[in-house]
Structures are given as C-alpha cells and as structure tokens.
Structure 1
Amino acid sequence: MIGEGAYGKIFISTVGNINVAVKIISKKGKSNEYLEKFLPRELEAASKLKHENIINVFDVMESKNSVYIVMELAQGGDLLDKITEEGPLSKEEAQKIFKQIVEAVEYMHRQNMAHRDLKLENILLDSECKVKVTDFGFSKTVQKNELSNTFCGSAVYTAPEILKGEAYDAFKADVWSLGVILYGLVYGALPFQEGSIIQVVQKTISLPQMKVDKDCEELIISMLEPEAAKRANLSDILSSKWFN
C-alpha cells in the first residue's frame, strides 16, 4: 500500500509492463450520501477530465463490494510530504509547481467543474516532478454564478464563507484553497491550523517575516481575500507579476 485516504487505499500494480496505481474503495461502511453522491462524482471526473496536470485514469471497475480505479502512478509523492521533508521551496520551483496546479484547476473550471478539496496532499508529483492533481470525490459540476451549500474539503484549506455556513461560489472557494497551497509552498507551513480556524472566520491573516518575493506575497493576499467577491480569479493569478 502506498497511500490511504478517508475513503480508499492505494496500491501499486502492473498492467502489461507499466506500473500503475490502483485505488480500492470498499463500499462497506460507507454512507448512502457517499455512495450515491460523492463516489459517482469522483468517477465522473475520472472519465471527463483529461489534462497533463491531472492524474490520468485508465480504467474503473466495480464489484459488489468495491470500486477499483486504475490510474497513472505518480512516483514523486505529494506536496505535503515534499515541503515536510524539504521545507519552503525556492522561488523558481514554487513558480513551476504552482503554475501547473493553477492551469489544471483553470482547465477544470472551463469544464464547469470545481474541485472543492484542493490541498497539498491532493497534489502529486511524477518522477519528473510534474504536477498531477488528484482526488475528485468532492468535485462538482457547477454553472457560472451558481451557489453551493455543501460543507466539504479540509477545514484548514476551506474558505471563510463555507466555514460560516453561507452559500458559496465553488470556483472562488477553489481560489482560496490555492492561496493556502501557495502559502505552504513558499513558507513551508500552512497559514491556519485546525485549532485556529476562528482566524479564518474573523478574516485575520498575517504573513511570516521571511524573505519571500513581494509579488508572491501580494498574490497570496489576493487569493486569501476573505470577501469572495473581491478575491482574485484564475486569470488574475496567471497574469500576476509573480509569474511574469
């Protein structure tokens, strides 16, 4: 076993002469909401999303008790492990990795799909350090200006409007999560901890006294804007001074 999440375990297997990852999701003990809503969404995303920075799914098989998702093997591990082991990334490496993440999310949004669970653990790297976004169990097809109500994702990456129980724009919520990810890449830690979620709701954030590019700091602040209507969008991010 090479990984384990809330809903499944991941193993390495071989198809022909190719090593693959197989996510095995047991149906036993799972809620009806998961089996009827979140699992079908993950399978829909697996079949619909085709992008170089999104994990490629080769096949999905189902038995009475389990679902098997066969996908490409990302041998470089996830970003949380990377910054835990290496600390903050250099400007050049952070730019390279974060741009790929944003491009993957931008592609999803163009397909009218929000991820809703973006976090360092769900960003994998292949053997050449190429980004592979994964884990689409909370993804949702949404239309422009459509609001969502479901609380999902990990609290430390969750936008304040969701934490306050408000209806929210899932695309804007993804941008907030991207801001938390970029913070983690350049500072080597997250801006909020489980016990300090009240900070998010109270709209307070402070940047560490570290030597980080000013343009990067401004980009992080624009993504971690508590008011969703004022928050940066993906085109703002890709055209920011930090990237150009």
Structure 2
Amino acid sequence: YEVIVLSFSRNNSESSSQNTPSNSSNPSNSQVCSNIIQKFEPLKRLGKGGFGSVYKVRHKQLKIEYAVKVGCYKEKSLREVRALSDLFHRNIVRYYTFWMQDTGYEWDLRGNSESKFLYIQMELCSENTLRDWIDEKNKESVQDSKRREESLRIAQEIVCGVEYIHSKNHIHRDLKPANIMFGVEGEVKIGDFGLVTSDDDDEERTVCKGTPSYMAPEQRKYDRKVDMFALGLIFFELLWKLSTGSERAKVRFTAVILTIGCRI
C-alpha cells in the first residue's frame, strides 16, 4: 500500500491488470472479503492505483453510501488515517473509521504477498473531481463571467480547507485538481491525504514527493508553502483555459522561475 497519490479516477481501464475482471467496476459479493460482505454492499469501484482501490459501498443496516479505500498495509500506512482522524471541516473529505485484516479484494492482490490489508471508510463524494470541472469548462469557446464567479467560490473553499489543514500542523503535499472533489451540496472537498506530513521544523521530510506538474521547486527543505505553490497553479487553471498538459507545464515552469527569482 503506497501512501502516495490516491486518485479517485473515473477511468478504471487506465490501471487494469491481468488479474482484473473485465467488469471490475461492479464487483460481485464473491469478489470481496468477508468483512465487507457482512457490513456493506459493494456498488462500484471508483478508482484504482498503486495504493489499491476505492469502492462505493452501501451500509446494509444504515442504508447510507460510503467510500471505502482498500490497500496493502505498510509501515507508514496509518499516516493518512492519523491525519484524517485529526481533521473535521466542511471542505475536507470526512473520515469515519478504519480496520485491518488478512484479506483484500481479489484483483487488488496482483501477486502481492502482504499479510495485512488496510480499509479506510470515508465520506462518499461526487465522482466528478475538480479536474473534470476544469476540463468541462475548457470545452467552452469563451471565458465567460460565470466561470470566474464559480471559480472564485471554489477557490475560496479550497483556501478554507488548506488553511484548516495548516492550522492542524499538517502539510498536504499533493494538492491538485484530481484530489479536490465535491460534496452532495456542491461544496469543495479536499481529499487524498496519502502524502500528508507534519509541519514540524525538526522533522526530516522525504524529498521529491507529489505530482511533478504541481510540485514546488523546494526539494530538500520545505514547509507548508509547498501547498501554497500548488494552490497558485490550481487557481490559474480555474480561471484560464489550459487544454493540454504542455500548457500546464509551461505555467508551472514560469511559476518556478518567478518563485526562484523572488528568492534571489
């Protein structure tokens, strides 16, 4: 279980493997572990990556839908759980509980000999992320005022969430549109805390962690400002039409040059 980039991807085919059933987005009861079968009805796989998978499930007794993340347990697997359990905010994906057991989803094993699997139960958000929202807006022919108004509201909510994360002495380290979701009322929900770390000056942090296209130029010694750098890039994407990865790369390159220039 790699607690690195945890993406709620809508395209399951991108990360398919030989052990993955062709209809893997709708798992049957025979394909899930006993604990899940006892408590939840599996409805759909929402995403799959190096960490494992995220599933949409329904609690059999409460009749409430949740997201359950499943992955192999490693030494640092509980870092995300500790951070989520410390955060309770309207603009952050809500954490409920976690558990560990010896079995996982059949297609997530991929020949893995790990003896423990980590399950994290969380709030279920919309399947459309901010990445999807931006891509849809970029299909429009003009930059209209409505996009700017909506972008301002989204940006303000992201700032509120990040400010709260920092107030709790955490650094997210992987802020990007794909890790920002929406709740049932359309409110922003920051998720994917697999790279979260403590904002402690005495802590020796791992370098070069995150998504390269949103990564701050600080690679050795850094603090919460790395989240602020990513925020700036996200705000630019919210307001301006950047349809290709190369265009986003140019914006990041310019931001890096300006950042370094301001520090010289």
- Does the pair score TM above 0.5? yes
What do the CA deviations read for 1:59-93 (whole angstroms, capped 9, x no partner)? 11111331111111112521111111232771111
How far 1:128 sits from its partner (Å)? 1.9
Residue of structure 1 in register with 2:122 after alignment: 71
Residue of structure 2 in register with 1:179 after alignment: 232
Question: Does the 8 A contact of 1:183 with 1:190 survive in 2?
Answer: no
Distance in 2 (alpha carbons) for counterparts of 1:107 and 1:7: 26
SS for the counterpart of 1:175 is helix
Q: Residue type matched to 2:188 in 1?
A: V
SS for the counterpart of 2:80 is helix
Residue of structure 2 in register with 1:50 after alignment: 88
Question: Does the 8 A contact of 1:2 with 1:12 survive in 2?
Answer: yes
Residue of structure 2 in register with 1:17 after alignment: 63
1:168 corresponds, among 216, 219, 222, to 222
Q: Residue type matched to 1:54 in 2?
A: I
Question: Does the 8 A contact of 2:46 with 2:56 survive in 1?
Answer: yes
SS for the counterpart of 2:259 is coil
Q: Structure 2 regions of 5+ residues with no counterpart?
A: 1-44, 103-115
Residue of structure 1 in register with 2:162 after alignment: 105
Distance in 2 (alpha carbons) for counterparts of 1:23 and 1:196: 30
Bigger radius of gyration among the two: 2
Q: Which has the higher helix share?
A: 1
SS for the counterpart of 1:225 is helix
Q: Highest relative contact order (Cα 8 Å, sep 6+), 1 or 2?
A: 2
Q: Structure 1 regions of 5+ residues with no counterpart?
A: 28-34, 205-223, 231-244
Question: Does the 8 A contact of 1:180 with 1:190 survive in 2?
Answer: no
Question: Does the 8 A contact of 1:192 with 1:199 survive in 2?
Answer: no
How far 1:161 sits from its partner (Å)? 2.1
Distance in 1 (alpha carbons) for counterparts of 2:119 and 2:261: 40
Seen in structure 2, the aligned counterparts of structure 1 residues 2 and 202 have a Cα distance that, compared at 3 Å, is: closer
Normalising by structure 1, what TM-score? 0.72
Q: Residue type matched to 2:46 in 1?
A: I
Is 1:41 the counterpart of 2:41? The answer is no
Question: Does the 8 A contact of 2:46 with 2:127 survive in 1?
Answer: no
2:99 corresponds, among 58, 61, 69, to 61
What do the CA deviations read for 1:86-127 (whole angstroms, capped 9, x no partner)? 327711111111111111110011111110010111100123
Distance in 2 (alpha carbons) for counterparts of 1:42 and 1:227: 34
SS for the counterpart of 1:160 is coil
